[in-house]
A and B are shown apart, each in its own frame.
Chain A
Amino acid sequence: MASVTLRRLSKTYAEGGAGPVLRDLSLDVRDGEFLALLGPSGSGKTTLLKCIAGLEEPSAGEILIGERNVTQLAPAARDVALVFQHYALYPHLTVRANIAFGLEVRRVPAAEVTRRVQETATRLGIATLLDRRPGELSGGERQRVALGRAVVREPQVFLFDEPLSSLDPPLRSELRGEVLALHATLGATMIYVTQDQREAMTMGQRIAVLHQGQLRQVGTPAEVYERPADVFVARFVGNPGMNVLKGRGRGTEEGSGMVDLGGWSVAVALEHYEGEIHVGVRPEHVTLGAANPETGSLEVRAVEPLGPETLVYLDARGQTLVARVHGIPNLRRGDRVGVTLDRSRLHLFDAAGERLG
């Protein structure tokens, strides 16, 4: 097993002329770690993964697997396995041949190939499918075969490129469990690319959030959720994401600050700040009550009852504020409600979106 180290990695595609896909990106993935690489589409996740796999050559920077600098090595020499988003199973080969492919091209003795293929197939519960072709399999079965193709080679590093995104939700959670179980038994380093923040939260030991080719935050799920490094991370992680309201901050004499949100102010634990500021609050930390003159009241824009909880969209003087409340409240569009923000759970970001404090 091995760690993966990225040092100041950049990637610019020569053609197209669009800006760099990866900018000056450094990341340490520890030996045996499960890292979720989270980002919206177009953020450069797949390019980063392909650079690690060796399918793309970075424009600058270095990639180390273990102590080995693999930047200039061919994919075959890197000892990594890549599970593709759309499986990329060889359609003309049987499941057995698909799994055996990586061993055969490396000239592993036939008897060992047979043994390892059988072993892998049994572990993944696809032993009965070995003589079928990919076209005859369901999506879940195909993804198991794709996993098998990676596992059988016993590589140092596993790379997953949104492997579950094309599956139905129940199947997705089932396979999520299997990937985690694999990680537990193999103890291999795994980098798991996803744009589903829920998948990242539930699977990753750490989450690396990528946006516009840059790493915004690397941390445990709790860190990323509870102390987002910037407005993007705050909004991207969580469903729905954090409310981030724009306002003007000013210090007061009482040793704390106020943020003026346009006819509506929130007291914050921040002194000596003047100028534009972002106030973030998770929907679950917004409490609704009867309209009272002290807190002011906001108008209800929309109500989304989900069963155990309800999302209430409020018009905060032109900005949208979402509240997550228990059960299904008796609220209607156009109602006015009093709003309380949990002061201890406020997040403050500066004008550029970086976290304050």
Chain B
Amino acid sequence: MSATPRGTGWRVGALAAVGVAALLPVGVTRWARLRSERALAARSAASTAAYLELVTPAGPGGAGYDLARLLIRSRALDELPGLHARVEVYHGTAPLVHATAPGLAPETLDALRRRADVPWAGAGAGAARGGRVALAPLFDRQGWDVVGAVAARADVPDALLAAWLAVAVVFTLVAGVLAVRPLGGRPDALRPAFRRYAAAAGLLGFVAGADVRAIARDTTDLWLADARVLMQDAAARLPELRSAPASLAPIARDAEVVVGDSAGARARRRDVAGVPRASVAVRLAPGRWAEVRTAPDEARAWGWFAAAFGLALLGPVGVAAAAWGARAATRPRYLRETTAAWGFLAPSALHLAVFSLVPILFACYLSVHRWSLIEPVRPFVGLDNYARLLRDPLVWAALRNTVLYVLYVPVSAALALAVALALRGRSRGVRALRTAFFLPSVASAVAVALVWQWIYRPEGGLLNSLLARAHVSPVDWLGDAKAALVALMIVSVWAHVGYQMTVFLVGLEGIPQAYLDAARVDGAGAWQRFWRITFPLLRPVTLWVLATGIVGAFQVFTYVYVLTGGGPLHATDVAVYRIYQTGWEFAQFGSASALALLVLVLLGGVGWVQFRLLARRAGGAGAAGGARA
């Protein structure tokens, strides 16, 4: 940040950001093309190898191929009309298609015997000029031994978008330079130029993203076309394949081959059972068609799209940061304090983003998909999950149980207030009692639940033993559908009353004695003092206790999980337990996420109402503070 002229350093930085942000999306498209070509080459090599394995007859007496026929078939590949991939076939290490091409290194063939994906910068088969080359093993007719290899080179032609991309880069660079020029001057001079630049960068990101997508789409199309050509050729050569399209499946590795119709030679896109597929029709014989379906690459290219778009936007972000820096540099204290403030905020902001925001967004994503850990296909299903939830009586039962369960909160809050009023003193006995009441809040919920399990045991449990002494017939506390939820609520009251008591104690401490003295002199009795002075002044605390208690109660899980497992007959099935079961026991993460979001919205509503009430009281509390001042 040199001082003269003002903001030069920032301007240089901004220019660098503009340049980098203009070039990075292009780099992304290059990289995506590289990956696509490599994947296409690998696929083409594998398909070609499978084709050769299918159409080459066995040699005399053995698993090996008829070498002459293999040579003919391989040479024919070079002239096969419509085949995009350029291939070389090796028998052993000897090239068959172009006899003069260099052979395969023996160790490469050896490596192919051990694993299928051999990285290979092979120079065979016209791989000389660019393009990605991949190698696939050629098995013998039993599919047992690797007798050779197929190398394939794939070129994905530039999409029309490439030209647009160049235009967008130039456009963005110009707009970027124009936006950097007024940097360090008046902010309103910068604003329109910056807006133009941001728009240009957005456009660049979009074009680059679209280019990546187009490349992915072309890759799928190219492979489908090649698979079609190979399959049709195989069907033409081997009549027995015409009625059994499934036997052509090895050519279309990773894809499905089904009986189809004459949908045309071009690849097309359509949804099959909610899953997007790319497919092409293969003519096996007059009137006999098969269809090859595969997952379209572009459906998985959204990450690339986002990367290209995000990188393009780095430029405007950099310019904005530089503009802020140039402005702030003239006010070092502001700069220092702002950086320090963000420094302090960053850890919690990061934590919030990673552990709250991202999971919520992921849950949103899951909730509109059919998503399970075990099924590879995770189609988009829209609001189906929500619709199913709303029709599910178990969900409604769980929500009803949750709402009933939440009713323990006012009960425990009232108890806690009473206990707090009773245990306000400083004597040793009172302090010991307070500690005793508070202890459950620091105990592990599972331990608490296990203790209560023992207390509630139908036979020999503490509660029923006591009842028996009073000649009351025993109750199956956790096994009786009528009693189980109440039993859970009793556990919760017991576990939470101590914490709530502590909060109330603090609240009571906060009420100045003068108010109560004034009320006594005014003639108010103890009861009047409580209802007219203490309780109203405690309202913010009461609302806090209720708000946090209700939010916590909505999330009850441990007690249910340990004590009842949601039973008997779903009598204690609560919302979070339902979420857990739907997700982890039924592996329906989409539905589980939808239910979780539903509960979140419900809780959000409850919380909103409560904090509105709190905010209103905060005005009153402020008045109290003012009166004390």
Please tell me if A285 contacts chain B, counting CB pairs below 8 Å: no
- Least CB distance from B111 to A in Å reads 82
CA distance A55 to B512 in the complex (A): 14
B622 an interface residue at 8 Å Cβ cutoff? yes
B623 → chain A, closest Cβ, in Å? Answer: 2
Indicate if the CB atoms of B627 and A89 lie closer than 8 Å: yes
Chain B nearest Cβ from A47, distance in angstroms: 13
Residues of the B chain whose Cβ atoms lie less than 8 Å from the Cβ of A135: 619-620, 622-627
Query: In residues 141-198 of chain A, which contact B (Cβ within 8 Å)?
Result: 142, 149, 153
Distance (whole angstroms) from the CB of B289 to the closest CB of chain A:
82
Q: How large is the interface on A (under 10, 10 to 19, 20 to 34, 35 or more residues)?
A: 20 to 34
Cβ-based interface call for A101 (8 A): yes
In the bound complex, residues from chain B placing their C-beta under 8 Å from that of A88 are 512, 514-515, 517-518, 627
Give chain A residues whose Cβ lies under 8 Å from the Cβ of B621: 91
Q: B240 in the interface, Cβ–Cβ < 8 Å?
A: no
Instruction: Please tell me if the beta carbons of B532 and A101 are within 8 angstroms of each other in the complex.
Output: yes
- Chain B residues contacting A74 (CB-CB under 8 Å) are 520
A87 vs B518: C-alpha distance in the bound complex, in angstroms? 9
Taking a contact as CB atoms closer than 8 A, the residue among A90, A133, A136 that contacts B518 in the complex is A90
The answer, yes or no, to whether B366 is at the interface (CB within 8 Å) is no
B521/A90 in contact, CB under 8 A: no
User: In the complex, A135→B525 CA distance in Å?
Assistant: 26
| B536 lies within 8 A of chain A by Cβ | yes
- Determine whether B524 belongs to the interface, using a CB cutoff of 8 Å to chain A: yes
Q: For the complex, what is the distance from the CA of A82 to the CA of B533, rounded to whole Å?
A: 17
A102 to B625, CA, bound (A): 23
Q: A134 within 8 Å of B by Cβ?
A: yes
The minimal Cβ–Cβ distance linking B475 to chain A, given in whole angstroms, is 44
Q: Is B519 an interface residue (CB 8 A)?
A: yes
Contact with A along B594-629 (1 / 0, CB 8 A): 000000000000000000000000011111111110
A92 engages B518 (CB within 8 Å): no
Q: B628's closest neighbor in chain A, by CB? A: A86
Q: Does A312 contact B (CB under 8 A)?
A: no
CB distance from B134 to the nearest CB of A (A): 78
A92, B537: Cβ atoms closer than 8 Å: yes
Q: Using Cβ atoms and an 8 Å threshold, which residues of chain B touch A133? A: 620, 623
Contact of B517 among A82, A87, A91, A142 (CB under 8 A): A82
The verdict on A75 contacting chain B, using a C-beta distance below 8 Å, is yes
A149 and B624 in contact (CB under 8 A), knowing A88-B512, A90-B533?
no
A142 to B628, CA, bound (A): 11
Q: Which residues of A contact B620 (CB under 8 A)?
A: 91-92, 133, 135
Q: Which residues of A (56-93) have their CB < 8 Å from a CB of B?
A: 74-76, 80-82, 84, 86-93
Q: With the chains together, A86 CA to B629 CA distance in Å?
A: 8
Residue numbers in A under 8 Å from B522 (CB-CB): 76, 101-102, 105, 149, 153
Which residues of B lie under 8 Å from residue A87 when comparing CB positions? Answer: 627
Is A115 in contact with chain B by the CB < 8 A criterion? no
Q: Which B residues touch A134, using CB under 8 A?
A: 623, 626-627
Residues of B within 8 A of A93 (CB): 536
B528 at the interface (CB under 8 A from A): yes
Task: Decide if B523 is an interface residue (CB 8 Å cutoff).
Answer: yes
Please name all residues of chain B whose beta carbon is closer than 8 Å to the beta carbon of A53 when the two chains form the complex: 517, 521
Do the beta carbons of B517 and A90 come within 8 Å of each other? no
Q: Which residues of A contact B622 (CB under 8 A)?
A: 135
Docked pose: A106 CA to B521 CA in angstroms: 11
A324 to chain B, nearest CB (A): 37
Among A88, A105, A149, find the residue whose CB has the most chain B CB atoms closer than 10 A.
Answer: A88
Say yes or no for A54: interface residue by CB 8 A criterion: yes
- Residues of chain B lying within 8 A (CB to CB) of residue A105: 519, 522-525, 528, 532
Please pick, from B519, B537, B627, the residue contacting A101 in the complex, using a CB distance under 8 A. B519
Q: Give the chain B neighbours of A90 by CB distance below 8 A.
A: 515, 518-519, 532-533, 537
CA A88 to CA B518, docked complex, whole Å: 7
**Inter-subunit contact A55/B627 (CB<8 Å):** no
Interface string of B404-429 (1 = CB under 8 A from A): 00000000000000000000000000
Q: Judging by beta carbons under 8 Å apart, are B524 and A84 in contact?
A: no
Name the one of A55, A89, A91, A136 contacting B521, with C-beta atoms under 8 angstroms.
A55
Q: How far is the CA of A165 from the CA of B490 in the complex (A)?
A: 53
Given A76-B525, A92-B536, A82 contacting B518 (CB threshold 8 A): yes
B517 close to A136 (CB less than 8 A): no
Q: How far is the CA of A172 from the CA of B278 in the complex (A)?
A: 89
Across-interface contacts of B517 in A (CB, < 8 A)? 50, 53, 55, 82, 84, 88
Contacts of B493-519 to chain A: CB distance below 8 A: 512, 514-515, 517-519
Interface residues of A in 122-147 (CB under 8 A from B): 133-136, 142
Say yes or no: A101-B524 contact (C-beta < 8 A), given A82-B517, A82-B518, A84-B514: yes
Chain B residues whose CB sits within 8 angstroms of the CB of A106 once the complex forms:
523
Q: Does B532 lie within 8 Å of A142, measured CB to CB?
A: no
Chain B residues within an 8 Å CB radius of A84:
514, 517-518
B425 to chain A, nearest CB (A): 12
Give Cα A23–Cα B440 distance, bound, in whole angstroms.
49
Interface string of B89-108 (1 = CB under 8 A from A): 00000000000000000000
| B residues lining the A interface (CB < 8 Å) | 512, 514-515, 517-525, 528, 532-533, 536-537, 539, 619-628
Across the A-B interface, the 7 shortest Cβ-Cβ residue pairs: A135-B623, A91-B624, A102-B522, A88-B514, A76-B523, A88-B518, A135-B626
Q: A80-B521, A90-B537, A135-B624 are in contact. List 9 more A-B contacts (CB 8 A).
A: A55-B521, A76-B525, A88-B517, A102-B522, A134-B626, A135-B620, A136-B623, A142-B627, A149-B522
- Can you report 13 residue pairs joining A to B where beta carbons are below 8 Å apart? A53-B517, A54-B521, A88-B512, A88-B514, A90-B532, A90-B533, A91-B621, A91-B624, A91-B626, A92-B536, A92-B539, A101-B522, A102-B522
| A residues apposed to B, CB below 8 Å | 50, 53-55, 74-76, 80-82, 84, 86-93, 101-102, 105-106, 133-136, 142, 149, 153
